[in-house]
Chains A and B, each alone.
Chain A
């Protein structure tokens, strides 16, 4: 029988795009309900202050204003839950209430809610709410916040410490460092970033007083999780009294995973007022009040031998949590950071200590990569520092320390599940070959003679994808307190059309396309006949949503498993139709037949019709082809690769130009190369952005100075080079498709490639490290300092 055209592996365009790029998607602000009111928030201009008095009378009197509420009005609902507390969280996780009560802990903290007939009126009336504050001293730096005398943000958290966590062996790391031939010490700051999804966050809430049921349309990466948290924890109502719907979601990058105050106050106001209420953030509100990412201060020591073997790593990190504890903030600077701190290297002794610290800033939680970019940046920057210290080529130092192919599955000794698979050196060699490493070093030497400063930076990385295994991630002390399996329902309808309902929540990942490719191949049906549904808790089986590069490896595998169940049932029904024994049946290319007799086959459509009409089914077989899977993988997957950046630094202005970017990634088997490339392009852009452009900057008074897109530099296409991408393929043994995930790899790998290149370019000036972002002034000052020091030395 001729093979039907295979869809898996084809670079087909995303089926979701025509609608989205023609402006025909339905995003949160497109939703308009009859009688809908509009909410706007009075936000704190102070980083840290007591709320002395709130006078809403002028706002209430404003024409078109329906109601004004404060935090005191909403004391009948609970604060947001700290859903997944990390091990080591003290019993002082202070989460936000719907609106602040008594005090504010960061600029942008919500203080009062204005509800009006239209959005403009609501915004006008925000200015009429009079709030009297008593400003308090503020602290924005996590390490400084733990020092004696720092302003105390929450009474329950002495020294502002919320969380104290460690992994690895302190004794071994101390001993390795004490006895090492070479020790390099550095302070590394992983600056705060603002995720900046194209669509800001928001929701529309409707309450049906007759049934006591809420419907909440929301910008969500995980509607089932939001439903659970808002009902069971915040409102104390049955989970069944809330339906959560995520329509088209315009990017998330992690920011839309979390349970925010605005979901609670919008629901609360809709119930109180008996009318639907919409709240959509303005961009500056998104910047001040939605979660940020990264923001670590780290003291690190790396130890090794003169011949290039790394023998020890000791890390102390102060992770900024912001003014409150966000939904899964505890898991990011711990499990997803500390447990992968040694990266692709066999380092026999490592210890990581982390303090999670409250400061007077917006909350920090997962942002694309979530912990892994911070870990990867740290180890890759330190491998370069170590290589420079012993005078060895940075590529060679990496080779000498790589975990070897025969070491897998590899236990890194940090409490991580074993790395499933890997073969690191071929990816490094391929990237070096693509970039022309030897030639570049010659070109670099020539350029330096002419006063031009070229630099090359290598980043060999490994990351954790398919963040799911419940027995691990759900265990107490491991980071989070919930299993993260994923669901998929597959149905073959009477007409042979296939409907897949997934608990994943695509918001840019291309899941509608890739899942359909998988199903088309596995069931042997046309790709066009497969529909992917998602986003509505009324329709989709319980699932944990999309983050941690888990849609394909976990959600996709759930789909794959449901399809296998469909095929098994189809064989049983086809056997009945052909009067054969089920064990003699084969299912191939959309048809079931008796082994050896493919000419007498029943098509899936025929079988589905038989299953649906149901007048003649084998005894004990239920009608319809309808199968659900809750897939809980045995392990995460561990994509890896090597990225190389080439930069030129303008020594006169300090401006860094990214000239080339080469990436070799191993994301396992690839379902759709075009989508993988797209994910890598966007991911690399975000890592380059951290290295060169973006900084969520608070001044010492806690004012967010990069509070809009005029100040916060998200790079445009013109600020990025043409990427040169290739891959190696090491299929993951964890799941039947051998896939790993590609959503975050680009971000995890790229910042350090660029920074290592910048430092390499600046090495003639004796510069060993610079903090990110490598802004023109920062680079220029480093060059100036170096020149002055040299002049002084002469």
Chain B
């Protein structure tokens, strides 16, 4: 309930935020605060300083650049799920976002905050993995675009380095409407994903990703390979969604064991894929 002491800094621009980060190397970036503040209240996180980037204009908004949808990192879930541009180009993205938390959370929480925090049970990491997104990371020396497959590196660990800020999410847009589905088994208390499976049909076949069950979101390569070159139908899906992950690689607790989570991966992968046929 009561955080350890910290100082608060509000950045007005991206360059100011980067500057503040250089001056306070131990600082945490504050966007929606819906992961960070609870952790601070439980004293699981005790940053000496917070840099509030929620009002930095360069980090906000959704736009189309050619065949790419660009979402500013400090754009809230609500802004994404209510965006006409998003609804028309990737209708499954708002559907996935509607499964995050509750309206209060979605009014404050941001896409960049979720991805940079890399909570093992967050929903969006699996979604951006199957959408083949690229993440724009800005540092003192300039910006770089990182492929999503090398973005999530471990529990609460990403490719964003010290002194850097995740600024944009770039989602490639296919011809017509992107075909993606996200199936989630929510924890009855936290509503975080016990297991979440996202699948999408891209130019190179099916992409699938898993969140919630391991220490960070990963591609379900076994499933992708099993479906490679296969027609997508009930039989092929049923056949492919068997023992997709080894329970030994998953987390477990008294409510949801690793073995059960491994079983859920098969079930949710199947259900997600069936929504695409």
Query: Which residues of A are at the interface with B, using a C-beta cutoff of 8 A?
Result: 40, 119-120, 123-124, 282-284, 652-653, 655, 692-693, 697, 699, 705-706, 708-716, 719, 775-777, 780-781
Contacts and interface: CB of A to CB of B under 8 A. Distances in A.
B188 A282 contact: no
B263 interface: yes
A777 B253 contact: no
A653 B264 contact: yes
A709 B257 contact: no
B189 A709 contact: yes
B78 to A, nearest CB: 18
Interface string B219-255: 0000000000000000000000000000000000111
A283 B189 CA distance: 15
B186 to A, nearest CB: 10
A708 B41 CA distance: 12
B260 A705 contact: no
Nearest to B264: A653
Contacts of B5: 120, 124
Contact of A780 (B2, B187, B260): B260
B3 to A, nearest CB: 8
Contacts, number: 57
Given A780-B260, A780-B263, A775 B1 contact: no
Would you list the 7 A-B pairs with minimal beta carbon distance, nearest first?
A: A713-B188, A713-B189, A282-B1, A123-B2, A710-B190, A777-B260, A652-B267
B264 A697 contact: no
B2 A777 contact: no
A697 B254 contact: yes
B2 A119 contact: yes
B2 A712 contact: no
Given A652-B267, A777-B260, A719 B2 contact: no
A708 B42 contact: yes
Q: Which of B188, B192, B264 is the most central at the interface, judged by chain A CB atoms within 10 Å of its CB?
A: B188
B253 to A, nearest CB: 7
Contact of B267 (A653, A713, A715): A653
Nearest to A784: B263
A653 B185 contact: yes
A47 to B, nearest CB: 16
19 contacts: A40-B2, A119-B2, A120-B2, A124-B5, A282-B1, A282-B2, A653-B267, A655-B185, A693-B188, A705-B253, A708-B42, A709-B189, A711-B255, A716-B102, A776-B185, A776-B260, A777-B255, A780-B263, A781-B260
A506 to B, nearest CB: 27
Given A124-B5, A653-B267, A775-B255, A284 B42 contact: yes
A780 B4 CA distance: 42
Contacts of B256: 776-777
B254 A705 contact: yes
Interface residues of B, number: 22
A715 B188 contact: yes
A775 B185 CA distance: 13
Contacts of B1: 123, 282-284
Nearest to B270: A652
Nearest to A285: B1
Nearest to B2: A123
A123 B2 CA distance: 7
B189 A712 contact: yes
Contacts of A653: 185, 264, 267
Nearest to A689: B188
Interface string B1-19: 1111100000000000000
A283 B2 CA distance: 11
B245 to A, nearest CB: 16
A714 B189 contact: yes
Contacts of A692: 188
Nearest to A708: B42
Contacts of B263: 780
A706 B187 CA distance: 13
Nearest to B190: A710
Interface in B84-123: 102
Given A123-B1, A709-B190, A711-B255, 13 more contacts: A119-B2, A120-B3, A124-B4, A652-B267, A653-B267, A710-B187, A712-B189, A713-B189, A715-B188, A775-B188, A777-B256, A777-B260, A781-B260
Nearest to A698: B254
Contacts of A709: 189-190
A699 B185 CA distance: 24
A120 B46 CA distance: 13
A331 to B, nearest CB: 31
A536 B256 CA distance: 47
B272 to A, nearest CB: 13
Contacts of A719: 188
Contacts of A712: 189
Contacts of B189: 693, 706, 709-714
A425 to B, nearest CB: 36
B170 to A, nearest CB: 32
Contacts of B188: 692-693, 713, 715, 719, 775
A135 B257 CA distance: 28
A42 to B, nearest CB: 14
Nearest to B271: A652
B1 to A, nearest CB: 4
B193 to A, nearest CB: 13
Nearest to B255: A775
Contacts of A714: 189
Q: Which of A283, A706, A776, A781 is the most central at the interface, judged by chain B CB atoms within 10 Å of its CB?
A: A776
Contacts of A697: 254
A87 B102 CA distance: 49
B190 A711 contact: yes
B264 to A, nearest CB: 6
A478 to B, nearest CB: 39
Nearest to B257: A777
A713 B264 CA distance: 20
Nearest to B267: A652
A775 B194 CA distance: 13
Nearest to B191: A716
Contacts of A775: 188, 255
Nearest to B252: A777
Contacts of B192: 710
Nearest to B41: A282
Contacts of A710: 187, 189-190, 192
Nearest to A200: B1
A699 B267 contact: no
Interface in B114-137: none
B38 to A, nearest CB: 8
B268 to A, nearest CB: 8
A123 B43 CA distance: 10
B241 to A, nearest CB: 11
Q: Which of B1, B42, B185 is the most central at the interface, judged by chain A CB atoms within 10 Å of its CB?
A: B1
B82 to A, nearest CB: 20
A124 B3 CA distance: 9
Contacts of B42: 284, 708
A279 to B, nearest CB: 13
A336 B190 CA distance: 34
A418 to B, nearest CB: 42
A719 B186 CA distance: 12
Contacts of B267: 652-653
Contacts of B185: 653, 655, 776
Contacts of A705: 253-254
Nearest to B188: A713
A697 B255 CA distance: 10
A114 to B, nearest CB: 12
Contacts of B102: 716
A196 to B, nearest CB: 11
Nearest to B102: A716
B39 to A, nearest CB: 11
B237 to A, nearest CB: 14
B46 to A, nearest CB: 10
B216 to A, nearest CB: 19
A40 B1 CA distance: 12
A705 B190 CA distance: 14
